[in-house]
Amino acid sequence: MAKTIITVATTGAWPTKDNNPNVPMTPYEIAEDIYDCWKGGAAIAHLHMRDDAGKGTMDVNKFEETVKILRQRHPDCDIVLNFTTSGDLNATDKTRQEHLEKLRPEMCSYDAGSMNWLHSGLFINHPKFLEELGINTQKWGIKPEIEAFDPGMIGNAAYYLKKGILKAPLHFQFCMGCANGIAGSMKNLVFMKETMESLCPGSTWSCFGVGRSAMEMIYGAVAMGGHIRVGMEDNVMYGKDQLAKSNRQFVERAARIIEEFGNEVASPNDARKILGLKK
Mean pLDDT, the chain, whole residue set: 98
Domains of the chain: 3-275 (3.20.20.70)
Mean pLDDT of 72-84: 99
pLDDT on residue 124:
96
Q: How confident is residue 142, by pLDDT bands cut at 50, 70 and 90?
A: very high
pLDDT on residue 1:
87
Mean pLDDT of 221-230: 98
pLDDT on residue 31:
99
Residues 7-35 have pLDDT tens digits of 999 999 999 999 999 999 999 999 999 99
pLDDT on residue 279:
66
Nearest to residue 90, comparing CAs of 57, 131, 52? 57
Mean pLDDT of 120-131: 95
Q: Is the pLDDT of residue 116 over 70?
A: yes
**Neighbour count for residue 223 (Cβ, 10 Å):** 12
Nearest to residue 51, comparing CAs of 68, 67, 27, 28? 27
pLDDT on residue 187:
98
Cis peptide before 24 (omega within 30 of 0): no
pLDDT on residue 120:
85
pLDDT on residue 119:
84
Nearest to residue 3, comparing CAs of 234, 241, 228, 196? 228
Mean pLDDT of 225-244: 98
pTM to 2 decimals?
0.98
pLDDT on residue 121:
87
Q: How confident is residue 239, by pLDDT bands cut at 50, 70 and 90?
A: very high
Residues 253-273 have pLDDT tens digits of 999 999 999 999 999 999 999
What is the chain's alpha carbon radius of gyration, rounded to the nearest angstrom? 17
